[in-house]
Amino acid sequence: MIPYQPHLYKAFTMSLSTADVQKVARLARLAMNNTEIEAARVQLSGIFELIAEMQAVDTTGIAPMSHAQDLSQRLREDIVTETNQRELFQSIAPQVESGLYLVPQVIE
Amino acid sequence: MNWEIVIGLEVHTQLSTHTKIFSGASTTYGAEPNTQADAVSIALPGVLPVLNKGAVERAVKFGLAVGAHIAPRSVFARKNYFYPDLPKGYQISQFDLPVVGMGALTIQVEPLSGNAKPYEKVVRITRAHLEEDAGKSVHGATQGMTGVDLNRAGTPLLEIVSEPDMCSAAEAVAYAKTLHNLVRWIGISDGNMQEGSFRCDVNVSVRKPGEPLGTRREIKNLNSFKYMQQAIDFEVQWQIDTIENGGKIHQATILFNPDTGETRAMRSKEDAHDYRYFPDPDLLPLDITPQMLEAMRATLPELPEARRARYVNDLGLSAYDANSLTSSREMADFFDACVATVSNAKLCANWLIGELSAQLNRDGLDMAQCPVSTGQMSGMLARISDNTISNAGGKDVFRTLWAEGGDADTIIEAKGLKQVSDSGAIEALVDEIIVAQADKVAEYRSGKDKLFGFFVGLAMKASKGKANPAQLNEVLLKKLAG
């Protein structure tokens, strides 16, 4: 089971405020003007209403699905199929050095 | 004041597959940076993971080896965290439905201090799950930047989680060693600790007897048994001191510094909820069929625990010998091969645990690299066993086998190591000594028993060390008695 995440369930039962959308947009690094924020607020609230509707269904005794398709995972033979394509992959990287991808310094 | 120590381990063991868990990129250690980082490893948009059968088989094999429940259906989940060594933004792992459920491992504990006797203990294994490893970050190459090597990203790991069943550093080390031996024994991991194929996280807490569990701190990434013991000892003392001085333990992730022998907090432990686990929609549930289960069971060798018991019960070896011989599969197989031809189990055990292990240590080799073959070794042991050569002669043969190769019989012949077991020859030799040493013989006969060793020495010298020692003793005793 996925652990109970109260902050999500709380959101299902209420419609979003403009401030909520602004916060989410900031977290997603999306620049949105007021018109877009309002449009997103209405659409996202609609999605939450839909989820609230699904939450209302009694699922007692029904095993949760982990995937939409009732199939099982196909397994791959343990054989090397990939070749070294470092040059190709790194040609689109913003910065590389000595074969390493460079990213802004990570401080642990 | 009396404190109880509670320890649980999480071990990440790298599975010995040729390719990554979700792609066909090679897992060979030590390659140039990012030359084994394919589109899946670097998380290009649109790529999909395809599960490696070899990784699943190894996980199942482990589960069977610890008598665990193997889930007929398990699920892969996304563990979300953002860090450039895993560019997808999440690690594919297993969460609520791991492939391996509750099992157990029997460990032999050698107490580290005092005169406490070795003892046996069962440690429960909570679960073991499949997951992918992250890449490596290289700091300080360029000012203000971090270099990322994604060769290791996607390498299959089996995370083995124990119950908090251990109550001393000695038990934790014994568990880790037993587990390390087992994963190599059943061939699911090379267990190379320097290369990070076997990494231990140790959860430590202390409490007063009878009280509920204390708050634990997790020592991350220990890759040596010695460090594990030092880290636990330091951490336990630190926790006890902190509490006794009125402080409180806060849950934290800590690192051990081998240079100072101290532990220090790395970060306060996030809640599991922060990872926002959810089933990975890119992967279907993993079904383990009864066919696969049986096929894996058929590949399991006789396990260390069973072999240890066989050595004690069927071959009459001591627990100590049996433990030493089953410390690695190579050692145990070598021993079995010797016993099959020499049949004198104690003799084989003594030589393998003694001379052979010592020589391996001196040359910094492990059993797999032993230059002496089982055939060469048993050829030599057979000649000790049938009294052709003495134990000392055997050492001479062994040194030659080690350094130059060859076979025991040729070496014995060339070096003239055959011991004299001809009773007539031994008696003649003893007679000569008795005549030459009349004074000493008189002293001996008047009660100076200690002189016996002196006669043995002379006789051995006279025979150039070749006299059969047991026979020589017997003849000397008889003749000296007059």
Q: Is the pLDDT of residue B102 over 90?
A: yes
Whole-number pLDDT of residue B418 = 85
Q: Which residues are within 8 A (CB) of B380 and not within 5 positions of it... i.e. 6 or more apart?
A: B394, B397, B398, B401, B408
Q: Which helix (H) or strand (E) covers residue B345, if one does?
A: helix B345-351
Whole-number pLDDT of residue A2 = 46
**Amino acid symbol at B53:** K
Query: Average pLDDT, whole number, for chain B?
Result: 92
Cα separation, B176 vs A8, whole angstroms:
40
Question: How close are the terminal C-alpha atoms of chain A, in Å?
Answer: 31
Q: Is the pLDDT of residue A6 over 60?
A: no
Q: Is the pLDDT of residue B315 over 60?
A: yes
User: Model confidence at B268, in pLDDT bands (50, 70, 90)?
Assistant: low
Cα separation, B338 vs B332, whole angstroms:
10
Which residues on chain B are in Cβ contact (under 8 Å) with A66?
75, 97, 279, 285
* Closest CA relative to residue B26, chosen from B130, B150, B147: B150
Cα separation, B209 vs B5, whole angstroms:
9
Q: How far is CA B381 from CA A11, B160, B233, B378, B407, in A?
A: 77, 41, 43, 5, 11
Q: HEC profile for B60-81? A: HHHHHHCCCCECCEECEEEEEC
Which residues on chain A are in Cβ contact (under 8 Å) with B37?
86, 89
Burial per residue of B174-211, b for 16 or more beta-carbon CB atoms within 10 angstroms, e otherwise: bbbbbbbbbbbbbebbbbebeebbbbbbbbbbbbeeee
Instruction: List, for residues A22-80, the tens digit of each pLDDT value.
Output: 988 988 888 999 999 999 999 999 998 999 898 899 999 988 887 888 888 999 999 99
Cα separation, B147 vs B103, whole angstroms:
40
A67, part of any domain: no
- Domain borders along chain B are 4-291, 302-415, 423-480
CB contact at 8 A, B72 and B96 = no
Q: Is the pLDDT of residue B267 over 70?
A: no
Rg (CA), chain B: 29
Phi then psi for residue B380, to 5 deg, are -70, -45
A74, part of any domain: no
Residue A13: which CATH number? 1.10.20.60
Out of B35, B266, B277, closest to residue A86 by CB: B35
Q: Return the CATH number of B423-480, one of 1.10.10.410, 2.60.40.1180, 3.30.56.10, 3.90.180.10.
A: 1.10.10.410
Which residues on chain A are in Cβ contact (under 8 Å) with B33?
98-100
* Average pLDDT for B179-183: 98
CB contact at 8 A, B263 and B237 = no
A107, part of any domain: no
Q: Which helix (H) or strand (E) covers residue B297, if one does?
A: helix B290-299
**Which residue range(s) make up the domain with A26?**
1-58
A96, part of any domain: no
User: Model confidence at B377, in pLDDT bands (50, 70, 90)?
Assistant: very high
Q: Between chains, do A72 and B286 touch, taking CB under 8 Å as contact?
A: yes
Q: Between chains, do A68 and B24 touch, taking CB under 8 Å as contact?
A: no
Angle between helices B169-185 and B329-342 (to 10 degrees): 70
Q: How many distinct structural domains can be found in chain A?
A: 1
Out of A73, A89, A100, closest to residue B138 by CB: A100
A77, part of any domain: no
Out of A69, A82, A101, closest to residue B38 by CB: A82
Supply the DSSP symbol for B54: H
User: Cα A58 from chain centroid?
Assistant: 26
Whole-number pLDDT of residue B269 = 53
User: Model confidence at A4, in pLDDT bands (50, 70, 90)?
Assistant: very low
User: Model confidence at B150, in pLDDT bands (50, 70, 90)?
Assistant: very high
Which residues on chain B are in Cβ contact (under 8 Å) with A95?
145
Pairing between β-strand B103-109 and β-strand B51-52 as defined by DSSP bridges: unpaired
Q: What percent of chain B has pLDDT over 70?
A: 98
Supply the DSSP symbol for B100: B
Tokens coding A5: 């995440």
Q: Between chains, do A104 and B146 touch, taking CB under 8 Å as contact?
A: yes
Q: Is the pLDDT of residue A10 over 90?
A: no
Q: Where are the beta strands (DSSP E) in B269-319?
A: 278-279, 286-287
Q: Between chains, do B33 and A100 touch, taking CB under 8 Å as contact?
A: yes
Pairing between β-strand B4-14 and β-strand B156-162 as defined by DSSP bridges: antiparallel
A11, part of any domain: yes
User: Model confidence at A105, in pLDDT bands (50, 70, 90)?
Assistant: confident
Tokens coding B476: 């000397």
User: Model confidence at B144, in pLDDT bands (50, 70, 90)?
Assistant: confident
Q: Is the pLDDT of residue B24 over 80?
A: yes
Whole-number pLDDT of residue A11 = 46
A65, part of any domain: no
Q: Which residues are within 8 A (CB) of B45 and not within 5 positions of it... i.e. 6 or more apart?
A: none
Which residues on chain A are in Cβ contact (under 8 Å) with B83?
106
Give the minimum alpha-carbon distance from A35 to chain B in angstroms, rounded to a whole number: 30
A106, part of any domain: no
Give the minimum alpha-carbon distance from A3 to chain B in angstroms, rounded to a whole number: 7
Cα separation, B303 vs B117, whole angstroms:
24
